[in-house]
Amino acid sequence: MTAMLEVKNLKVAYGRVRAVKGISFSVEQGQVVTLVGTNGAGKTTTLRTISGLLRPEEGEIWFEGERIDAVPAHEVTTRGLAHSPEGRRIFPRLTVEDNLRLGAFARKDKAGIAQDLERVFDLFEILRARRAQPAGTFSGGEQQMLAIGRAMMSRPKLLMLDEPSMGLSPLMMQRIMSTITELKSEGVTILLVEQNAQAALSLADYGYVLEVGSIVLEDTGAKLLTDDNVRKAYLGED
Ligand SMILES: Nc1ncnc2c1ncn2[C@@H]1O[C@H](COP(=O)(O)OP(=O)(O)O)[C@@H](O)[C@H]1O
Ligand SMILES: [Mg+2]
């Protein structure tokens, strides 16, 4: 069986700065896979390249058996790959509901969209209560929920989340992490990028450790959590 997402020898540069230096990894259908690594490791660059927002210098990206590394970003979304970007990037002047509906831009099935909107509201009750309010007035955690909700509105086969826990209180972070587990149980495949290695590895089936543009370690989430080097470098233990 081929993986849902396959990244092969990916190299991405910003001018002369090589940010991703030939990484290969895959995501199987139904899995939660995480890329962990410190600031500057190349995690965001990798997700933006998979989404079609950046073009690789070298390498290949395959999604459901088709090569997508030259496909425009909007078409990548249409094919079933959604991206909740780092720093949320919601539209502050638009209402919660309009922000969410933007996530469904490529869909025409009105009934399905209405159903998914309810599903997002069930998951994040606070968004339902504030559906008519401009999103710019929200706290960081609420904006993060909105960004995840918006990505879900495309009804993705693969959901990519870039640092969903960034800037959140421990309580909010737990809420986001349990939402990821819930989505997984509904059959959504997830590629999770996190600096918070503890949280990400705790729920991931499989993980890759990224250091300055290269994958230095890969294993099941459980194994990486107990790996001595990972504990020292990423979990603040000595
Ligand atoms: N727009 C950009 N222009 C130039 N360099 C960039 C840009 N974005 C990121 N970089 C550099 O690329 C490397 C990887 O960054 P990034 O992918 O954002 O890492 P991470 O998400 O793991 O923190 C870093 O050295 C960063 O400084
Ligand atoms: Mg990043």
Which residue among 106, 126, 155 closes a domain?
155
How much is the average pLDDT of 140-149?
88
Q: How many domains does the chain have?
A: 2
51/121 same-domain check: no
Judged against a pLDDT cut of 70, whether residue 238 lies above it is answered with no
Q: How confident is the model at residue 63 (pLDDT cuts 50, 70, 90)?
A: very high
Q: Does 50 contact ligand 1 (Cβ within 6 A)?
A: no
Q: How confident is the model at residue 174 (pLDDT cuts 50, 70, 90)?
A: confident
54/9 same-domain check: yes
DSSP code for 134: B
19/127 same-domain check: no
pLDDT per position as a tens digit, 52-62: 999 999 999 99
Ligand 2 centre to CA of 37 (Å) is: 9
Q: Which pLDDT score, from 0 to 100, does residue 94 have? A: 95
Ligand 1 centre to CA of 13 (Å) is: 9
8/113 same-domain check: no
43-52, 99-108, 112-121, 137-146: least confident range: 137-146
Tokens of 140: 């960081």
The radius of gyration of the chain from alpha carbons, rounded to an integer in Å, stands at 17
pLDDT per position as a tens digit, 72-112: 999 999 999 999 998 778 899 999 999 999 999 888 899 99
Which residue among 155, 177, 198 closes a domain?
155
Q: Are 149 and 88 in contact (CB under 8 A)?
A: no
Ligand 2 centre to CA of 1 (Å) is: 31
| Better pLDDT: 143 or 237 | 143
How much is the average pLDDT of 200-219?
96
Task: Out of 21, 36, 44, 55, give the residue to mutate to test ligand 1, the one with the largest number of ligand atoms within 8 Å of its CB.
Answer: 44
- Per cent of the chain over pLDDT 70 is 99
User: What is the chain's length?
Assistant: 238
Judged against a pLDDT cut of 70, whether residue 1 lies above it is answered with no
Name the one residue in this structure whose structure tokens are 């909740």. 84
Nearest-ligand number for the alpha carbon of 162: 2
Name the one residue in this structure whose structure tokens are 């090589």. 18
Q: How confident is the model at residue 195 (pLDDT cuts 50, 70, 90)?
A: confident
Pair type for strands 58-63 and 5-14: antiparallel
Q: Does 185 contact ligand 1 (Cβ within 6 A)?
A: no
DSSP-based three-state secondary structure for 218:
strand
Q: Which pLDDT score, from 0 to 100, does residue 172 have? A: 81
Task: Out of 10, 12, 45, 54, give the residue to mutate to test ligand 1, the one with the largest number of ligand atoms within 8 Å of its CB.
Answer: 45
Tokens of 238: 């000595």
Q: Are 69 and 60 in contact (CB under 8 A)?
A: yes
Which domain range does residue 113 map to? 88-155
CATH of the domain at 46: 3.40.50.300
Q: Which pLDDT score, from 0 to 100, does residue 166 have? A: 83
162/72 same-domain check: yes
Task: Out of 10, 12, 16, 17, give the residue to mutate to test ligand 1, the one with the largest number of ligand atoms within 8 Å of its CB.
Answer: 17
Handedness of CA 82, 86, 89, 90 (dihedral sign): positive
Q: Which pLDDT score, from 0 to 100, does residue 237 have? A: 66
Q: Are 189 and 31 in contact (CB under 8 A)?
A: yes
CA atoms of 203 and 113, how far apart (whole Å): 28
Tokens of 119: 């599903």
Residue from 82, 84, 58 nearest 70 by CA: 58
Judged against a pLDDT cut of 70, whether residue 116 lies above it is answered with yes
Q: Which pLDDT score, from 0 to 100, does residue 231 have? A: 86
Q: Does 48 contact ligand 1 (Cβ within 6 A)?
A: no
Q: Does 36 contact ligand 1 (Cβ within 6 A)?
A: no
Q: Which pLDDT score, from 0 to 100, does residue 142 have? A: 86
149/162 same-domain check: no
Residue from 38, 62, 30 nearest 209 by CA: 38
Ligand 2 centre to CA of 101 (Å) is: 25
Ligand 1 centre to CA of 20 (Å) is: 9
Handedness of CA 5, 8, 9, 12 (dihedral sign): negative
